Amino acid sequence: MEYDYEKLKMTGKVSSEALEYAKSVIKPGRKLLDVANEIEKFIEDKGCKQSFPVNLSSNAEAAHYTPEFTDQRVVGEKDVIKVDLGARDGTYLTDCARTVCLDGEYSKLVEASEKALENAISMVKAGRRVNEIGAEIERTAKAGGFNVIKNLGGHGIEQYELHANIFIPNFGNGDNTELEEDSVIAIEPFLTTGVGHVVEGESLQIFQGVSDRNPRSADARDALSHITSEFSTYPFAMRWLIKKMGSQEFKARRAIAELITIGDLEPFPVLVEKSGGTVAQSEKTLIVTKDSCDIVT
């Protein structure tokens, strides 16, 4: 099937608009749950679905924080929030992120992450080695006085698959894999005031279906039916599943635990900077061309 780049660009436009909208609704004192619901509704009102649950990771959290079903956490006056989101139309997915710095204390960190992304994009073309892109991201980070997070990076995007076929490092890792013309990629520098390594945190709210083994309990079978029909193999939030299961939170949590145990679901716990350093993220989706790239988000 021929790849529909125009449909991809349409979803990219929605993603970009949603990211701009997100900046307008992130205010001190607001519940993160309300913010997430509003951003996701914005995407749906534009005629798209989410590529994945909106991430609202704060401060030392680098990625994968999405609010719980009854989350009471609020935006702090000094929070540095990474908004990571994507819209999809059918099988065409996009991915983008920005960092919202509410009081300006970490504005240089945010600016450095944006500059690192800009410099990385300027290098993109068919045949470019991913190692060279990573080295430029790290050079920009170091020039600003910051570290890159070395165990996070960009990725390829294909139909049905958000993280596909290629890894784009945020430092010079020696990988000589070359970008291919007409491929779709996401570049996403993560910069930090910390040591530059993330570990798994306690929050676990994002999952992805990877198999359809028959679970034993009726609750798990019910949950798997909802996951298959509503989310297919795309990442979903625990709160989404709870709503689909009649807001029966305990039932949904117990079912997910069983599905993880038997290998039907892959969990994505929140990722936290190991030393507690503040993290900034910037990300865009691109189409690689012969001599440059087309920016999608």
Question: Helix 218-226 vs helix 249-261: angle between axes, to the nearest 10 degrees?
Answer: 90
One of 3.40.1160.10, 3.40.50.300, 3.40.50.2300, 3.90.230.10 is the CATH number of 5-200+272-295, namely 3.90.230.10
- Encoded tokens for 154: 């960009």
Q: Which of 68, 84, 114, 136 is catalytic?
A: 84
pLDDT score at 214: 85
Q: Which of 40, 71, 138, 188 is catalytic?
A: 188
pLDDT score at 112: 98
The amino acid at 210: V
**What is the distance between the alpha carbons of residues 151 and 154, in angstroms, rounded to a whole number?**
10
Q: What is the pTM of this model?
A: 0.96
CATH number for the region 206-268 comes to 1.10.10.10
pLDDT score at 213: 84
| Per-residue pLDDT tens listing for the chain (297 residues) | 578 999 999 999 999 999 999 999 999 999 999 999 999 999 999 999 999 999 999 999 999 999 999 999 999 999 999 999 999 999 999 999 999 999 999 999 999 999 999 999 999 999 999 999 999 999 999 999 999 999 999 999 999 899 998 999 999 999 999 999 999 999 999 999 999 999 999 999 999 999 888 899 999 999 999 999 999 999 999 999 999 999 999 999 999 999 999 999 999 999 999 999 999 999 999 999 999 999 999
Q: Which of 4, 38, 111, 163 is catalytic?
A: 163
Domain extents for the chain?
5-200+272-295, 206-268
Tell me: the pLDDT tens digits for 33-63? 999 999 999 999 999 999 999 999 999 999 9
Q: Which of 136, 155, 222, 258 is catalytic?
A: 155
pLDDT score at 1: 56
- Encoded tokens for 32: 């993160």
Identify the sign of the CA torsion 232, 99, 20, 132.
Answer: negative
226 is catalytic: no
pLDDT score at 165: 86
Q: Which of 68, 71, 95, 258 is catalytic?
A: 95
Q: Which of 79, 136, 219, 283 is catalytic?
A: 283
pLDDT score at 2: 78
4 is catalytic: no
175 is catalytic: no
95 is catalytic: yes
